Structure 1
Amino acid sequence: MSRAVPMKRRLFLSGFIAAFLSGCANKFRTYNGPVVTRLRLYKGQRLLILDGSERVLRTFPIGLGFAPEGHKQFEGDGRTPEGSYVIDRRNPESLFHLSIGISYPNEADSAFARARGRSPGGDIFIHGGPRPGIDPTNKRDWTAGCVAVTDQEIEEIYAMVKDGTPIEIYS
């Protein structure tokens, strides 16, 4: 009888660990469809579009920085950049589930901020994992300048979009 309790506990823990690990494994999806040739982000419409060479492959509703109007100019301004950039990195250990980096600031962004004695900021990502109670699909803007989607959506985007893919961000 004394061995039954530890055995049940071991089975329970084994099951819990297996469930936890299988959940982690689902974070990294595979994608075998058409190549994503560019991303288009329309801030005013809160819409991210993934284009292929012949058609739109996928669209996603998004959330933006807490002060979304206008082009990001300085660190801490809460704006999401506007202009031409590329996806330049990915973070599988992101605090926001998964994330892919946008190449902000470019040289012009840095020069503008530097001329005013300020930092342009950086670390602009498309990411999931909104803080509790915030749903990026309801168009509420809560990031510090990043682009927010749901965890499931960033899993798709992370699998579909490769580093070096251009992204155009419109007002």
Structure 2
Amino acid sequence: MLGLLFIPLLPAMAQEPGRTVDDVLALYADKVQRRLQPRFLFADVDWPPRQVSLVAFKDTRLMELWALSDSGWQHIKDYRVRAMSGRKGPKLKEGDRQVPEGEYRIELLNPNSAYHLSMKLDYPNEFDRQQAQQDGRSNLGGDIFIHGGGVSSGCLAIGNTAAEELFVLAAMIGQDNVSVLITPRDYRFRPLQSVSPDAPAWVDDLHAKIADRLRLFPLADKR
């Protein structure tokens, strides 16, 4: 879900220190299962699933949850991204307030987030570092999270209920079984467009790769 711009914490958003992932599961797992299991059963996907993917669209501030079944990826649910900063285009440096673009993994589950619960992305990933070296860039930033609450700078804020669902799901199936695809727009029905004349030359190729990856998640399978 960038260097995270410091935002003063609201008292209601702070968590008691020392809470563990197991503590979060004890608090929310039953509730999350009651909400999500019927959706997985409707999509003919086992609960808990063996692998899920989150697909986030910058332009519409929508995040789709997909789960892998024997017949391919099945759409489970949509979430509204309540806050993100920046514009079309990947994150290039610390402090640019851009949400990165590309495919990422969950690096860390944070049960003590100031924004209820959070999941850290592995930005910068190998691709990001390679392009930065090619461009001669350094200080790429980091600490990119998908988190609860409704404010964010460089991360993706999805609200507390959604954060509970995705955090618990990731904890249940293992964070290595969760992928996150962040795209500037929905290339399943919208054409590729150049970002801007001054964008690095590799950005258009990145968006073409994202568009190709999106073919795994067909619109026709959204219920």
Give the TM-score taking structure 2 as reference length: 0.55
Q: Any runs of at least 4 consecutive aligned residues in structure 1 with deviations exceeding 6 A, and if so which? A: 24-27
- In structure 1, distance between residues paired with 2:182 and 2:163: 18
Q: Please state if 1:146 is matched with 2:159.
A: no
Compare 153-162 and 119-128 and name the one that shifted more.
153-162
Query: Which one has the bigger helix percentage?
Result: 2
1:27 to 1:68, Cα distance in 2 relative to 1, 3 A: farther
One-letter amino acid of the structure 1 residue matched with residue 53 of structure 2: R
Match of 2:168 among 139, 153, 159: 159
Partner of 1:62: 81
Give the TM-score taking structure 1 as reference length: 0.70
Q: Please state if 1:52 is matched with 2:72.
A: no
Q: Please state if 1:124 is matched with 2:136.
A: no
Q: Does structure 1 retain, via aligned residues, the 8 Å contact 2:82–2:159?
A: no
1:57 to 1:81, Cα distance in 2 relative to 1, 3 A: same
- In structure 1, distance between residues paired with 2:175 and 2:24: 22
Q: Please state if 1:77 is matched with 2:96.
A: yes
Match of 2:56 among 20, 27, 41: 41
What is the aligned residue count? 137
Gaps of 5+ in 2: 1-22, 38-46, 185-223
1:116 to 1:144, Cα distance in 2 relative to 1, 3 A: farther
- In structure 2, distance between residues paired with 1:44 and 1:27: 36
**How far off its partner does 1:27 sit?**
8.7
Structure number, greater radius of gyration: 1
- In structure 2, distance between residues paired with 1:159 and 1:51: 15
1:91-102 matches, cutoff 5 A = 91-102=110-121
Gaps of 5+ in 1: 1-23, 132-142
